[in-house]
Amino acid sequence: MKSIHKLIIAISISVGALVTSCQKLDIPPTNIFTPDIIFGSEAGVKSFLATIYRGLPIEDFKYRPDQGFKTGGNDWENFFNSASVTGEEVGPFGGMDIGGGFGYWPYGDIRNVNILIEELPKHADKLGQANVDALLGEAHFLRAYYYFGLAKRYGGVPIVTTVQDPGAPLSELQVHRDKEEATWDFIGAELDLGYQMMNETNELGRANKYAAAALKSRAMLYAGTIAKYGSANFVDGQARAEGFAGIPADKANGYFTKAYDAAKLLEGHYSLYEKNSDKVQNYVDLFLKSESPENIFVKQYSIISGTAHSWDATMSPRYMTANALTRSYPTLDLVQRWGNLPVTNLDGTPKRFNDRAELMQGLEPRLLATVYFPGATLRGLTFDMQRGIYPSFNGTAAAEVAKPANSRSYILSGDTKTLYQGRMIIGFTGPWTGGDELTRTGFYVRKYIDAAKPISTVDLNRSEQPWIDLRYAEILLNRAEAAMELGNAGDALTVINMIRNRAGATPYTSIDIDKIRNERGMELAFENQYYWDLKRWRIADVVLNNARFKGLMPYYVFNENKYIFLSEPELFQRNYNFDKKFYYEPIPGGELGKNPNLYPNNPNY
């Protein structure tokens, strides 16, 4: 009896095992996303796009030019910006510390775009042909954006447009460098596709067809100026001789024409922000109001997703914030782009002011909206910049500044608590050299500062105002510069005066290339453009040749009860030198090790 039981059990087990075991495990894996899942729905494509957008080389608040596009740890150090090595500001960098770049090499991100471009047409049945076309256009824009980030750093780079198979022979995977001209032409062609295929509008934070045209105007202007000025001022070397670093001069006008035509495409679709009749507040608002008709392409931030930036907390002193660390400050040299400030009388003596704020009278609204002057207010508090006290002041400003520090008769202080006959010697907002929180030039940044935030909320990683990566004012400046390079001064003048009118400046009656460049410097100050402008105009080695920058130091003259302002070397006392080889960054050493076809490296590396 027992043995029969055993028999039955044995048989049923073996039968059961025989019947069920031979199922083949040929099913799609359930724990990874297959292309069907990702590209079969709009939500799937959107999540894939989010990864690509997140990696985009947008030089925003958090971009640190010697370390890269920061997220997470230490992404709050927003004062490590390119403005603070180019003389727009002075700041934490000891000198020209960003010339070698940070080894940017985004071929992983480009591979993602290539996957998108390869996969999308296969899923037209589920996504719809119109959707697929618009998304493909967006993908071409994104690919161009990545290549633009490469071309402006390295010149010619390998153009990879397919999804490489990791199992392919090494000779196929080690792609050769393309010429610089070919790289810029590729970027132009990609953006043409983007313009043709994308829709007029898109979600906030994503590109539409006009973003492609706008980026094209920027990229082609870069290429044109590199062709024109790079063939006059260059570093000799193999990479240049073979066309990897440098574009023939006769190609310049072709690129300028493309830049001009691309900029024209936006006409009538975007306009300068002019909603507030108070010109200063209008210019402040344009960086903070999301409904601005000037915004073409923006990057958004949020506290909830942990992406918030720290602009408000790192550009204003702790006096006006909850927990600030400032370190970079606008220079007097930048402010003088708008002309010399009326701080000196005709006989050379410093002009006397009853109140610091008087200095701001009559200045251009755009200047006052870009930089906080002594006497300005933020969150109910006054920028009380004061470098020290003169018991009395005689003679000219120039003679006083030329004296060695120990023979000047001023009284300085190491902190705000020290008083001179009952008066504070230095202001709550500096200038002071003892720590990292107070200005060393007499100015603070105002652009992008959200004055409406209560003091208690102004902290690190607590700012959410979007970064405007492409705005119409820049496109107008691109158009004016391209027009001027092509000899169309009339259009350049018209366009520059549109910008000057909005800024509250006096319109020009005539125009030249220096005025256009200066207008660009004023309009786009602190927007991470000027470093690239200096490079593509090939003047960085002249402008930053042992360069030292100035600040404007306010003093109180005790016996007269007046304020004076002296133009003095900024208090970091930094020195900036741009080496000519920095016009191109070195191809990263690790990549050269993996791919010998990337040789020759750029000249002098």
Which parts of this chain interact with another protein (CB under 8 A)?
Answer: 233-237, 541, 545-546, 579-581, 589, 592, 596, 599, 603-604
Strands (E), 373-507: 377-378, 381-382, 388-390, 419-420, 423-424, 444-445, 467-471
Shortest Å distance, C-beta 236 to another protein:
5
Q: What 3-state class would DSSP assign to 601? A: coil
Helix axes 209-230, 472-485, angle to 10 degrees: 40
Shortest Å distance, C-beta 577 to another protein:
9
- Beta-sheet pairing, 381-382 with 377-378: antiparallel
In the complex with another protein, the residue whose CB is nearer, 157 or 263, is: 157
Shortest Å distance, C-beta 226 to another protein:
17
In the complex with another protein, the residue whose CB is nearer, 416 or 601, is: 601
Between the CA of residue 151 and those of 5, 104, 144, 502, what are the distances in Å? 79, 11, 10, 33
The angle at the Cα of 567, spanning 427 to 521, to the nearest 5 degrees, equals: 100
In which residue are the tokens 């920028």 written?
Answer: 383
In the complex with another protein, the residue whose CB is nearer, 231 or 349, is: 231
The angle at the Cα of 318, spanning 309 to 343, to the nearest 5 degrees, equals: 105
In the complex with another protein, the residue whose CB is nearer, 167 or 404, is: 404
531 Cβ contact list (under 8 Å, min separation 6): 65, 82, 83, 85, 86, 98
Shortest Å distance, C-beta 181 to another protein:
21
Shortest Å distance, C-beta 599 to another protein:
5
Shortest Å distance, C-beta 593 to another protein:
8
In the complex with another protein, the residue whose CB is nearer, 62 or 240, is: 240
Rounded distance, CA 239 to CA 175, Å? 16
Question: What is the CB neighbour count within 10 angstroms for residue 578?
Answer: 24
In the complex with another protein, the residue whose CB is nearer, 236 or 415, is: 236
In the complex with another protein, the residue whose CB is nearer, 273 or 582, is: 582
Shortest Å distance, C-beta 605 to another protein:
8
Question: For residues 327 and 91, is the Cβ–Cβ distance under 8 A?
Answer: yes
In the complex with another protein, the residue whose CB is nearer, 418 or 545, is: 545
Between the CA of residue 545 and those of 303, 395, 577, 578, what are the distances in Å? 41, 32, 5, 6
Shortest Å distance, C-beta 521 to another protein:
23
Shortest Å distance, C-beta 333 to another protein:
18
In the complex with another protein, the residue whose CB is nearer, 274 or 579, is: 579
Shortest Å distance, C-beta 568 to another protein:
15
In the complex with another protein, the residue whose CB is nearer, 268 or 593, is: 593
User: Dihedral of CA 398/400/401/407: which sign?
Assistant: positive
The length of the chain is 605
Residue 11: both structure tokens together: 């048989």
In the complex with another protein, the residue whose CB is nearer, 40 or 569, is: 569
Shortest Å distance, C-beta 397 to another protein:
19
143: phi then psi, degrees, rounded to nearest 5: -65, -40
Helix axes 472-485, 252-264, angle to 10 degrees: 140
Helix axes 129-154, 42-55, angle to 10 degrees: 10
Distance of CA 429 to the CA centre of its chain: 27
Torsion of CA 217, 219, 220, 221, to 10 degrees: 80
